[in-house]
Each structure stands twice: as C-alpha cells, then as structure tokens.
Structure 1
C-alpha cells in the first residue's frame, strides 16, 4: 500500500543498451501511481521516438457519455512523463522527471475507445536534452501528445518535462 511522502521503489534499469518490457513497465507504473489502474490503459507501445497507449473510454466517461476532460488531461500528462522516463532508462539513467508546464486543446468529443501518442515537439529535442544532461546534469524536453478516436484528432496537448539533477 502506497504511503504519502514515501517514494515508490524504482524499477531496475534494463540491461546496458536494452529496452524496457512495456507490460512490465506498465505493471510497475500501476503500483507506483495507484490511479493508473483506473485509466483504462490496454496497451503500451514504443515505435522509434513515439510512445502510444491504447485506452478504453469506459473508465473516463463524463456525464454526457463522452470522454471526461480531466481524465484525458491526466492521461496526456502521464504519457509524457512515461516518454521521458523511458527515454532516460534506455540511456541507463534512473532520474526523477516532473511536468513543468502543460496545455491542452480539446478539438472533438471522445466517443469511443481511443489511442494516445506522445513524441518530441522538435525532432532535435532528444539530442538537445542529452546535451543539457551531459553539461548541466538536468534538462527539459517539450513533448506533444495527441488523442485519436478512430481517424479523428480529439485532443492535442503539449508539455515541458524536466529531468531533475541526480542526487
């Protein structure tokens, strides 16, 4: 049982140059952040610099029978945190990540199961983050999350994620 003020143990880093098992990472995430179990995440996948989730709408329904904006916003924020954390882990770094700033634009109602994607806002974002970490021991990256219900873009979000100094 999680306790307030007590950090959850980190998931061991993958072997050198290795990839995280997405199912294992998602299981750990559900233990570390209890609300994850209620988000309806069915699958987590990485393809190059894009991380995506497949989600069920049912846990995030609002009073109108569509996606509840607060739940969708939490999901976009968490997906960006996951992107940054997994990026660090692939480089053998176990570091704390926090969202520094986040915005959302709701474009259409979410009326069925959906997918969320997350990728760097700029193609050079990961390289720039790696440089700042090497020089200063900390850094930020801007990520964009998009929520798709079928072929319809329903939500676009942007977040700045800060990697804190080791220590």
Structure 2
C-alpha cells in the first residue's frame, strides 16, 4: 500500500480479506491500521497477537506518559476503544465479511497507575457474544457486541474498560 496523507471525508482503502488457507497477517494489519488511522503510529504498539477469543497488544509506556510520569488516561481510552474496534474488525475479516464498525458506547475504570510497559487484552464480554453477533448479522444484516478490555502492568490489573461496538449494515451496491 502506498502511504499518502489522509484527507477528511475520504475513506482509506480497505485491506484485502485473508484467504481461508492463510490466517490473518497481524503485522500487515497493523501496517494498514497505521496508515488508515494516523494517530495509531503514536500509540506505542510494539506487538499484536491473537488467540482463541482474545486480541492482545504489547505497548510502550513512554509515548503515553502524562505530566506525572505515569500513563495518560486519555491515551488508554483511545487504546481500549481502538483495540475493541480491531477485535471486531479482525473477527469480521476471519468470517469473510467486509463491514464498517463503530463504537456505540465505551467506559473505563482506572484501578492503578501504569508505571511500565504494559499489555492490553480484549475479549467478548459474554462467551456467546460472537455467536449472537453472527446470528444478528445473518437475520438483520447488522448487530452489536459488548467487548471487555483489560490493561496489565506485569500481573497488576490497572484498567478495565468496556465497549459496545456496532457492525453497520452492508451498503447497497
């Protein structure tokens, strides 16, 4: 993909869907994400991994420092929202669907200061959330899913977040 300056009102080209024979290339997805959403390159994402029903990022603290030398809550809010968006976008891609996703509602609860590099994990809030979403998409062409994000410094849980994400109907051709 050619890197060009983003312009308001002009959608970024979509990333081609993975083939059934090849799983999602998370490094290629992250490169696309950096181009599609310019602020992503400033968030300190060092690695992305996916397993079963969760998606996890490893992040550097330094780009997310506040004036006190700990993690900036606003950065974490952006990261948790974006991580949820990535979770549902990757789930849709895995299921061969190209759809727009938006966050409908989000909340965070800060539990402890973030004082070192950290990991942020996202998963469905309900075990059957993906199956419910798949059913709604089949029946109505749109749906929602509640996702939970948790931020850990080592073994310390520093933040819990929740987001309700809407998968929009496929636009008419």
Q: TM-score, normalization: structure 1?
A: 0.99
Counterpart Cα distance in 2 of 1:51 and 1:133: 22
Residue correspondence of structure 1 range 6-155 to structure 2 within 5 A:
6-16=10-20, 18-155=22-159
Task: Give the deviation of 1:18 after TM superposition.
Answer: 4.1
Counterpart Cα distance in 1 of 2:100 and 2:59: 26
User: Which 5+ residue runs of structure 1 have no aligned equivalent?
Assistant: none
Number of aligned residue pairs: give it.
Answer: 167
What are the Cα deviations for residues 71-102 of structure 1, in whole angstroms up to 9, with x where unaligned? 01100000000000000000100100000000
User: Which 5+ residue runs of structure 2 have no aligned equivalent?
Assistant: none
Choose 18-27 or 91-100, whichever is displaced more.
18-27
Counterpart Cα distance in 2 of 1:16 and 1:92: 9
Give the secondary-structure state (helix, strand or coil) at the position aligned to 1:83: helix
Counterpart Cα distance in 2 of 1:99 and 1:152: 27
Counterpart Cα distance in 1 of 2:87 and 2:113: 25
Q: TM-score, normalization: structure 2?
A: 0.95
Task: Give the deviation of 1:20 after TM superposition.
Answer: 1.1
Once superposed, what is the RMSD of the aligned Cα atoms?
0.7
Counterpart Cα distance in 2 of 1:6 and 1:17: 32
Aligned to 1:158, which of 153, 158, 162? Answer: 162
Task: Give the deviation of 1:108 after TM superposition.
Answer: 0.1
Counterpart Cα distance in 2 of 1:131 and 1:18: 25
Counterpart Cα distance in 1 of 2:168 and 2:21: 22
